[in-house]
Amino acid sequence: MPRKCQPRIRVCEFCSHLIGPDRGPAAKTCSEECQRDRNNAKEKARYQRVKNTQEWKETRSAYIVQQKERAARDHEYAKRLAKQRRAAVRKHRASLSPEQLEALREKGRQWHRNMTPEQRAARKYWYGGLSPELKQVFLLELRERRAQKKNERKQPMTDPPTPAAIRAAREAACLTQTQAATLVHSGLRAWQKWESGERRMDGAHWELFCIKIGRDDLFQGTTVAARSAS
């Protein structure tokens, strides 16, 4: 009587769990996640073996030179490269323990204390050590972010309303000074100063009041007049 073949038991090389029959006869892991982690572990082990060898140093130096030459020609590539480096630094710092992070900071402080006056002058700003092309990319990004924030904070271009216009708008809405001040989240005394001309109402309060009483045309007319005057 022929003997039946017993199924071969296979164990995952990464997590030591059993490998199911759906993984195929040549599978070494029990899932796609274990396969990815196994490949990453093998690549890290290979990197540790070749790291700091002469061939590795020569290849790395040639790669860095190639990167700098390409960054000098292509500003978009230099921009992406700077972004990737900043992300890598943040990722590395996030993976450190508090003790390791403090040791890294102390190493930086020690390096800064040992700087010569010439080095201090060259690194007046933290980006002083960047290459010229990366420094140009960084400064352009910095200017763009500052301009964007300035535009976001910019108030609508309006002329302050006259005291007579403020009073007429309030009376047309059949509101008392207290009720009008409450609509714009202000106080009675402030509203009285706006109507008397003692203080000028800013465009934000005027716009809010016009919106609350349903008279957007008053604010829009002031905006159009301001733009035509400019």
pLDDT in tens, 7-32: 567 888 888 888 877 887 788 888 88
Predicted TM-score (pTM) above 0.75: no
Q: Cα separation of 196 and 198, whole Å?
A: 5
Regarding whether 180 and 135 lie in a shared domain, the answer is no
Alpha helices in 51-176 (DSSP H): 54-73, 75-94, 98-113, 117-122, 132-153, 163-172
The Cα 6–Cα 93 span in angstroms is: 51
Q: How many domains does the chain have?
A: 2
pLDDT in tens, 77-113: 888 888 898 889 888 888 889 899 999 989 988 988 8
Backbone phi, psi, residue 161, to 5°: -70, 150
Residues 80 and 148 in one domain: yes
Question: Residue 187: which domain range?
Answer: 163-229
My answer on whether 84 and 126 are in the same domain is yes
130 within a domain of the structure (yes/no): yes
Q: Has residue 162 got a pLDDT over 80?
A: yes
Nearest alpha-carbon partner for 173 in 133, 214, 207: 214
Three-state DSSP at 81 gives helix
Please check whether residues 104 and 128 belong to one and the same domain.
yes
Average pLDDT over residues 49-71: 89
Could you tell me if 135 and 176 lie in one domain? no
Q: What one-character DSSP code corresponds to residue 115?
A: -
CB 184 within 8 Å of CB 208: yes
Do residue 149 and residue 78 come from a single domain?
yes
104-130 pLDDT, tens per residue? Answer: 989 988 988 888 877 776 666 666 666
The predicted pLDDT at position 219 comes to: 66
Q: What does the CA dihedral 116, 122, 124, 130 come to, rounded to 10 degrees?
A: -120
Check which CATH number belongs to the domain holding 175 and give it: 1.10.260.40
Q: Which two tokens stand for residue 57?
A: 């140093």
Residue 180 domain-assigned?
yes
Look up tokens 């960054």; give the residue.
Answer: 71
What average pLDDT score do residues 42-57 get? Answer: 88
Domain boundary pick from 153, 173, 192: 153
Give CA angle at 162 (172, 206), nearest 5°: 65
Is residue 31 domain-resident? no
Q: Is residue 27 part of a domain?
A: no
Q: What's the distance, CA 183 to chain centroid?
A: 36
